[in-house]
Structure 1
Amino acid sequence: MLSQIIFTVLFLGAIILFTVNVRKIIRNIKLGRSEDRSDKPSERLRTMLLVAFGQKKMFKRPIPAILHLFVYLGFVIINIEMLEIIIDGIAGTHRVFSGMGSFYNFLIASFEWLALSVLLGCIIFLIRRNILHVKRFFGTEMASWPKTDANLILIMEVLLMSAFLLMNAADHKLQLAGAENYTQGGSFPISAMLVNLLPDSIESLIIIERAAWWFHIIGVLVFLNYLVVSKHLHILLAFPNTYFSRLEPKGKFPLMDSVTTEVKAMLDPSFTPTPPSEEPLRFGAKDVADLSWKSLLDAYTCTECGRCTSVCPANITGKLLSPRKIMMDTRDRLSEVGKNIDKNGSFQPDDKSLLDSYISREEIWACTTCNACVEACPVNIDPLKIIMELRQYAVMEESQAPGPINAMFGNVENNGAPWKYSPSDRANWAKS
């Protein structure tokens, strides 16, 4: 009874803490500007199924894609057994679903093979990251916590899968020995190989089985709450993020409603603009609250894989821009704003902003707007949208742009083209 009480308290505490933290993340995302992404639901569902569930874009790099698929499917499916563990923990039973007979044996055998695939996949990922030093896992933004975070996640998954297999091995040996309270049930193709490594003493086997059982369940509950402060949050957010993806062609830039309204008012005397909202009108974005909620969802979904930065032509040529850093900076600033709200009840000015405090002018103007980062992202994150809105603020609110761009603006205004030549001289090149 004591173990049941302890289990129930830990389980409920973990769920409550997770719920509180998730509510904060949802609140932070809602700080962004409204944006309608509810059109074409069938196309959106198809995108989510292909990109999030099917991991379609991952397979542009087949080897890591296959490894990731093993880890993804294994970790998700194997946690179905958590339902049995939770019922056993609360009710004090043991393998409560074993009455399903051969189907239960099939499930446990499947879980063991999946656990092995997760274990091997995570070990290979650790080797690629820490021994082979795959280039895209590194960069100025990937020092300190981001580097530690990635390794912690992989190590936690290795430990959880190891505990699961050790628990099954001890359980299997206890079943063979006819130990009291150990229900006969399950098929153990992987953990059976570990049986000879375990002691023969019933008491020792029970200690090992119970220790592994508690380590596994507590580890899963800790991992659940670790998700909300780590890059691994994409496990949950990849699905809504891909569902709310932009459906228009990537090269099509959206119109700014504020600019469209101004132009219509100038060209059409009969045009009646919509009443202004309570929020002050701002062109572009200076801070996270100026971005759309979808851009903020993008920031929380980023898994820091570096595929965007590895294909960025600006980054490849040595410029300061890293699309991954853009997303990480946006998330860091959003988290800082959220903590400000938690502390003060509402956001209090802190003399910081996303532009300048986190993302420099040099970074945003290094972008060639080629959309390579958007195309490469496995979960349809759009760093370019954030970059363009920061640029729009710099130009339209502050009138601050690099010299060559200001020259181009002047030429467009005076000559109707980006070049300094008069319109009447445009065809001179063809005269000879």
Structure 2
Amino acid sequence: MNYLSSILFLVILAVGGGFFAKNVKKIIRNIKLGKDVNRFDRSSERWSNMALVALGQKKMFTRPIPAVLHFALYAAFIITQIELLEILVDGIFGTHRFFKPGLGGFYTFLISFIEILSVLALTATVIFLARRNLLKLPRLNKAELLGWPKKDANLILIMEIILVCCIFTMNGTDEVLYNMGKSHFEGQGSFGFTVSQHVGPALFGGMSEGALHILERIGWWGHFMMVMAFLNYLYYSKHLHIILAFPNTYFADLNPLGQFDNLESVTNEVKLMLDPNADPFAAPAPDADAAPSKFGASDVQDLNWVQLLNAYTCTECGRCTSSCPANQTGKKLSPRKIMMDTRDRLVEVGDNIDKNNGVFVPDGKSLLNDYITQEELWACTSCNACVEECPVNISPLSIIMDMRRYLVMEQSAAPQSLNAMMTNIENNSAPWQYNQLDRLNWKDEQ
């Protein structure tokens, strides 16, 4: 029986792991569709940033209540992987609580600690469900969250509840079986797990040995199957941030928030114009067959790979949108929607490539206009509030600025007010419509 169980376990593990690897490969492929950008410098600062922001949850604690609840879920997720490791060993080799004999009392402490974290995680999960569906917090009920995003958030919380129930079913029935000296593997005497030693007898104490064995296996297999389901569900969910938060914070822009990058081609042209000794014909002639470079971005392939990584990492928490002054004053802009739209378009482009044997076939759509409107882009005040608020260092502003560049430099589609300002700067060296010699007239009005 153990032999057949191990074979079934290995088959499920191989299939689940295979699908997960396939999806990871697809995500990496999609991210690499972006333009190259160097984010491998200043490694010590990057490691520190990742440790503080991704591992230490530093930016979450600007809002203490959700931060504490999220940390309970986060800690439970991390520490529970120890119990998952034991399940993998037991499943492959047909053992039962493989680490218990070797770890002794420390094993009891470890599982008890996991149970305490699981109770905290269960409490946090119920509160998060209530916040989304009963309290209806404004930032969790914006228009961009209608439909699948809301279902996704609720589904993952329900999966968390099922997982915790499986843990306590497994541990609770095992506790009763050990107390009875009837465990399906050798050993007797109480485990003494902090929660299960009370929950087990209370819920399962009056059941028969056969029923306890069945429930213990349901809890054990349920735990494993939920992990496999969750692992493969990640590709379709905002919860990719569980994995991608670490590389995203490592590769985040370390420059000051107000510092924007310059287009190299434009910078070179300006330097050439300002240098009286430069020979404009000294530069090599451009390749006549090469595709002309595009200023800014109109689709996901025009963004850089870090921006596409940002899109996959977005947690949809809405801190960016709730802090956006444009959104607060009723403008159409939502930084969270910018990231969600970018990810949706990137997935669409990836699916297009999959359907056409690895080649993208133009579909007549683009990120600009089909997903993100010009109204949204020009509503941004470039204040960086969204970047400052993001708990995993995502920058919606960088995408907004690149798409604005495209509108201005490729399509001359800036709003009338901006066109007037730029014309005044060109003609008068000032954003106002009067001669620059008149700018000092105020000194004669004393």
Alignment TM-score, normalising by the size of structure 1: 0.97
| Structure 1: runs of 5+ lacking an equivalent | none
The letter of the residue matching 1:84 is: E
Matches within 5 A, 1:144-163: 144-163=147-166
Q: What residue in structure 2 maps to residue 29 of structure 1?
A: 31
Q: What residue in structure 2 maps to residue 130 of structure 1?
A: 133
Q: What residue in structure 1 maps to residue 253 of structure 2?
A: 246
Which range moved further: 253-262 or 52-61? 253-262
Please say if 1:236 is aligned against 2:260.
no
Maintained 8 Å contact 1:108/1:188: yes
Please say if 1:313 is aligned against 2:325.
yes
Match of 2:196 among 191, 203, 212: 191
Match of 2:218 among 208, 211, 218: 211
Maintained 8 Å contact 1:95/1:183: no
CA drift at 1:186:
4.1
Relative to structure 1, the CA distance from residue 279 to residue 238 in structure 2 (aligned partners, 3 Å threshold; closer, same or farther) is farther
Deviations 1:126-162 (A, max 9, x none): 1111111111111110100000000011110111011
CA drift at 1:183:
3.8
Q: What residue in structure 1 maps to residue 120 of structure 2?
A: 117
Maintained 8 Å contact 1:171/1:182: no
| Structure 2: runs of 5+ lacking an equivalent | none
Deviations 1:282-302 (A, max 9, x none): 100010000000000000000
Equivalent-residue separation in structure 1 for 2:111 and 2:225 (angstroms): 20
CA drift at 1:80:
1.5
Which range moved further: 292-301 or 267-276? 267-276
CA drift at 1:182:
5.0
Match of 1:143 among 133, 142, 146: 146
Please say if 1:335 is aligned against 2:337.
no
SS at match of 1:427: helix
Maintained 8 Å contact 2:109/2:193: no
Identity %: 56
Relative to structure 1, the CA distance from residue 275 to residue 148 in structure 2 (aligned partners, 3 Å threshold; closer, same or farther) is farther
Equivalent-residue separation in structure 2 for 1:166 and 1:273 (angstroms): 73
Please say if 1:225 is aligned against 2:225.
no
Q: What residue in structure 1 maps to residue 11 of structure 2?
A: 9
The letter of the residue matching 2:381 is: T
Equivalent residue pairs, number: 432
Relative to structure 1, the CA distance from residue 119 to residue 276 in structure 2 (aligned partners, 3 Å threshold; closer, same or farther) is farther
SS at match of 1:94: coil
Equivalent-residue separation in structure 2 for 1:177 and 1:215 (angstroms): 24
SS at match of 1:96: coil
The letter of the residue matching 1:102 is: G
Flag as ranges the 4+ runs of structure 1 deviating above 6 A. Answer: none
Equivalent-residue separation in structure 2 for 1:249 and 1:78 (angstroms): 38
Equivalent-residue separation in structure 2 for 1:56 and 1:215 (angstroms): 33
Deviations 1:341-361 (A, max 9, x none): 000020000000000010000
The letter of the residue matching 1:55 is: Q
Equivalent-residue separation in structure 2 for 1:276 and 1:318 (angstroms): 47
CA drift at 1:315:
0.3
Coordinate RMSD, CA, aligned: 1.4
Which range moved further: 256-265 or 75-84? 256-265
